[in-house]
């Protein structure tokens, strides 16, 4: 279970679990011609030359959303001579979810709530004034929306000293996730890991904020650094990859909601 959670959280960067830990990758050759979407009692799935796709562990891949199946079909169809998982964010995320299965669902929800208890949005800078003001401008909107939506309260703090959040607040946030399926839970963990915020992930799922607003909130600190000291090329490239993974996870949440 812990290993699976690490796989899900590694969507923060550009990874799909354990395979991404290898420095040298040998990509498989494209072995199929026709890519289509089919349907059965198990749901919607992609076929390659008529055969249903499987996860790396050979589990059959099917989802409840036709729109999501078509996104996976597009990724399979876009592969050229080699199959590059880094160019298949929806496929990677769905594979990760299916390999974890229903057994991982509660642990995934707990992971999101653990982030909420020590959330990015709750730990504020004490200086400089411009950053303090920007955090208040962007982050307070999210906290107020969540507080009103769930009738809860938050206890932000300045600096890195831990401050306990109300058990009732965390319980209500967890209850709001009690009905999600394991695929959506995997996507929420991915969003949480990428943004550093379980609260942003929940706000997005509850449609309190859209994807662009959540992305902006997640990068308040980094954008301040860029505005004052310039952008690092490697950090910029990493951020682009994260956005691709983020958008895929958002699509999964939206398509399955």
- Cβ neighbours around 62 below 10 Å, total: 19
**pLDDT of amino acid 19:** 45
52's enclosing H/E stretch is strand 51-52
Alpha-carbon distance 215 to 234, whole Å?
Answer: 19
Burial 165-194 (b: 16+ CB within 10 A, else e): beeebbeebbebbeebebbbbbbbbbbbbb
pLDDT, position 23: 54
Q: Rounded to whole angstroms, how far apart are CA atoms 255 and 2? A: 27
Q: How far apart are CA 46 and CA 71, in angstroms?
A: 10
pLDDT attached to residue 13: 43
Q: Report the pLDDT value the prediction gives residue 48, as an integer from 0 to 100.
A: 98
CA distances from 15 to 96, 145, 162, 200, 238 (A): 11, 32, 30, 21, 11
Contact assessment for residue 5 and residue 193, using Cβ atoms and an 8 Å cutoff: no
pLDDT tens digits, one per residue of 196-244: 999 999 999 999 999 999 999 999 999 999 999 999 999 999 999 999 9
**Residue 24 main-chain phi, psi, to 5 deg:** -110, 120
User: How does DSSP assign 222-236, residue by residue?
Assistant: HHHHHHHH---HHHH
User: CA nearest 18: which of 29, 10, 28, 27?
Assistant: 10
Domains of the chain, CATH where assigned: 14-101 (3.30.2180.10), 104-256 (1.10.3580.10)
pLDDT at 25: 73
Residue matched to tokens 């958002």: 250
State the 10-residue block means of pLDDT for the chain, 257 residues long. 48 44 75 98 98 97 98 98 96 98 97 97 96 98 98 95 94 97 98 98 98 98 95 93 98 96
Angle, nearest 10°, between helix axes 198-205 and 105-117? 120
Q: Tell me, what's the pLDDT at 118?
A: 95
C-alpha to C-alpha distance for 22 and 203, rounded to whole angstroms: 34
- For position 14, what pLDDT does the model report? 41
């Amino acid at each position: 279970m812990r290993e699976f959670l690490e796989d899900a959280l590694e969507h923060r960067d550009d990874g799909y679990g354990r395979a991404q830990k290898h420095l040298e990758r040998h990509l498989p050759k494209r072995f199929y011609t026709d890519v289509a979407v089919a349907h059965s009692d198990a749901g919607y799935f992609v076929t390659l030359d008529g055969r249903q796709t499987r996860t790396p562990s050979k589990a059959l891949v099917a989802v409840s959303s036709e729109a999501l199946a078509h996104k996976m079909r597009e990724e399979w169809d876009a592969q050229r001579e080699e199959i590059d998982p880094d160019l298949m964010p929806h496929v990677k995320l769905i594979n990760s979810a299916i390999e974890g299965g229903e057994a991982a669902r509660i642990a995934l929800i707990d992971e999101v709530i653990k982030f909420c208890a020590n959330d990015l949005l709750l730990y504020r800078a004490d200086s400089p004034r411009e950053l303090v003001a920007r955090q208040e401008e962007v982050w307070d909107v999210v906290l107020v929306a969540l507080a009103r939506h769930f009738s809860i309260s938050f206890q932000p703090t300045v600096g890195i000293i831990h401050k306990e959040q109300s058990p009732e607040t965390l319980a209500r946030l967890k209850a709001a996730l009690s009905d999600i399926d394991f695929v959506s839970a995997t996507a929420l963990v991915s969003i949480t890991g990428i943004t550093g915020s379980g609260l942003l992930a929940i706000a997005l799922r509850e449609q309190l904020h859209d994807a662009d607003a959540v992305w902006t909130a997640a990068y308040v600190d980094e954008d301040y650094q860029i505005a004052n000291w310039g952008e690092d090329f490697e950090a910029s490239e990493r951020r682009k990859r994260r956005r691709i993974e983020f958008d895929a996870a958002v699509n999964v949440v939206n398509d399955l909601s």
